[in-house]
């Protein structure tokens, strides 16, 4: 008996019979793995390397090992801390809005009513809008202090129009991003709701549960996993928001809407400070990993559960 067959006997699937004559598994995987290595892992390693280097494209002679110098500058830079704060504000606010609104809308669209399919399709459309378009659309046609339709509506109702992006820049950015991402939460939570087995609802109704109890004890636990996925995925995307800010406030006024990605972008492309922006990038990676850690654990857990199906 070949050792190979014995060694592979513990595998989940049972294609061992063919395994001895199977395809070159490694060669099938190699292209995808190598690609991700070259385009993701290697650059990430280089970022780490640059973060410890004195490296400014404007001062090519000044290169050399910087030790923790870049991190010292970073941690004493008020703008960095502001950017970090803005990033967290943005993530938290957008999460709160999209998840709660998405849940309410999901419950609404889980009911049957006339033209539900079309209404749902219209409601999720913002998710497919290119972020740059969203930015210009909100900045001009919707929220322009004079000619925007919101200003017109406020004047009509007797209020003074507001220059949203000048006076409430963070609010405006949050509004845009929430408009784009509420549909995502809606879509995923709705799919989650629809996978709730009918008999569970019927059973709990026969047990005499009120609608509120039904929601608390059946719907929310069932949605638990799905909510988790929505929160984690949205966090990752919100942490890296860029185009919406690029197209509207350019991080301003001042640094009012400068988040971490925008901070790094500015330091790299306008200050040419590779070392400093790499150090900031490391901070961004760490932040993303705090969220990703939990999500990936969930995905991995899901993988094992799926394997037993």
Partner 1 sequence: MAVVELKGVAKNYGGAHKNAKAANAVENFNLTTRDGEFIVLVGPSGCGKSTTMRMIAGLEANTDGEIRIDGRDVSQVAARDRDIAMVFQSYALYPHMTVYDNMAFALSLKKVPKPEIEQRVNDAASILDITHLLDRKPRALSGGQRQRVALGRAIVRDPQVFLMDEPLSNLDAMLRVDMRAEIIKLHRKLGVTTFYVTHDQTEAMTMGERIVVMRDGHIQQIDTPNALYHAPNNVFVAGFIGTPSMNFLKMTLGGDGKTLTGQTARMVASSERQSIEAHKGRDLMVGVRPEHLVLTTDEAAANLIKGEIDVVEPLGSVTMVQLEVDGHRITAQLEGDTSVRMGDAIMLTCDSARLHLFDAETEQALPRHEHRTETA
Partner 2 sequence: MEQKSSLGLAVIGWLVAIVMFFPILWMVLTALKTEQSAFSMVPEFVFTPTLESFKTALSQNAGYWHYAFNSLFTSVMSTLIGLALAIPAAYAMAFYPSKRTDFTLVWMVSTKFIPAVGVLIPIFLVYKTLGLIDNNWGLIALFVGMNLPIMVWMVYSYFKDVPKDIVEAAEIDGASTLATMFRVILPLALPGLASTGLLALILAWNESFWSLTMADHNAATLAAFIASFKSAEGLFWAKMSAASVMTVAPIIVLGWFAQKQMVRGLTFGAVK
**Near partner 1 in 136-195, by CB under 8 A:** none
Q: Which residues, numbered 6-65, are part of the site for partner 1 (CB under 8 A)?
A: 6, 8-10, 14-21
In this complex, which beta carbon is closest to partner 1, that of residue 19 or of residue 205?
A: 19
What three-state secondary structure class fits 56? strand
Please list the helix, strand and coil fractions of the chain in percent, rounded to the nearest 5, in that order: 75, 0, 25
Can you read off the two tokens belonging to residue 216? 């608390």
DSSP 10: G
Size of the site for partner 1 (CB under 8 A): 15
Q: List, in sequence order, every residue forming a beta bridge with 56; answer none if it has no partner.
A: 273
What is 281-309 written as a DSSP string?
HHHHHHHHHHHHHHHHHHHHHHHHHHHT-
Q: In the stretch 233-252, what mask flags binding to partner 2 with x, by CB under 8 A?
A: x--x--xx-xx--xx-----
- CA 107, CA 225: separation in Å to the nearest integer? 16
DSSP 52: T
Q: Does 59 bind partner 2 (CB under 8 A)?
A: no
Rule CB under 8 A: choose which of 4, 5, 6, 11 binds partner 2: 11
Q: CB of residue 301 vs partner 1: minimum separation in angstroms?
A: 16
Q: In the stretch 105-134, what mask flags binding to partner 2 with x, by CB under 8 A?
A: x--xx-xxxxxx-xxxxxxxxxxxxxxxxx
Contact 231, 96 (CB under 8 A): no
Q: Does 301 bind partner 1 (CB under 8 A)?
A: no
User: Segment near partner 2 (CB under 8 A), from 74-82, 200-208, 214-222, 293-301?
Assistant: 293-301
- Residues at the interface with partner 1 (CB under 8 A): 1-2, 5-6, 8-10, 14-21
């Amino acid at each position: 008996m070949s050792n190979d067959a014995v060694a592979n006997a513990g595998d989940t699937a049972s294609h061992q019979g063919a395994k001895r004559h199977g395809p070159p598994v490694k060669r099938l995987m190699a292209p995808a793995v190598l690609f991700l290595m070259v385009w993701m892992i290697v650059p990430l390693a280089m970022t780490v390397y640059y973060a410890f280097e004195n490296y400014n494209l404007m001062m090519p002679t000044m290169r050399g090992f910087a030790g923790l110098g870049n991190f010292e500058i970073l941690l004493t830079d008020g703008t960095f801390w502001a950017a970090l704060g803005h990033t967290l504000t943005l993530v938290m606010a957008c999460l709160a809005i999209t998840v709660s609104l998405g849940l309410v809308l999901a419950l609404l669209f889980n009911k049957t009513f006339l033209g539900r399919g079309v209404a749902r399709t219209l409601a999720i459309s913002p998710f497919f809008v290119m972020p740059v378009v969203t930015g210009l659309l909100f900045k001009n046609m919707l929220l322009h202090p004079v000619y925007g339709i919101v200003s017109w509506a406020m004047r009509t109702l007797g209020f003074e129009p507001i220059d949203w992006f000048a006076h409430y820049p963070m609010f405006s950015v949050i509004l845009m991003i929430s408009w784009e991402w509420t549909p995502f939460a809606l879509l995923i939570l709705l799919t989650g709701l629809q996978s709730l087995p009918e008999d569970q609802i019927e059973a709990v109704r026969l047990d005499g549960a009120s609608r509120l109890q039904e929601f608390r004890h059946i719907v929310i636990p069932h949605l638990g996993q799905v909510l988790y996925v929505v929160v984690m995925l949205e966090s990752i995307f919100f942490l890296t928001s860029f185009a919406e800010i690029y197209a509207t406030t350019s991080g301003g006024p001042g640094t009012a809407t400068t988040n971490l990605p925008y901070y790094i972008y500015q330091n790299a492309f306008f200050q040419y400070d590779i070392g400093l922006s790499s150090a900031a990038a490391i901070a961004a990676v760490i932040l993303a990993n705090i969220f990703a850690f939990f999500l990936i654990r969930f995905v991995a857990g899901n993988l094992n559960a799926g394997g037993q199906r």
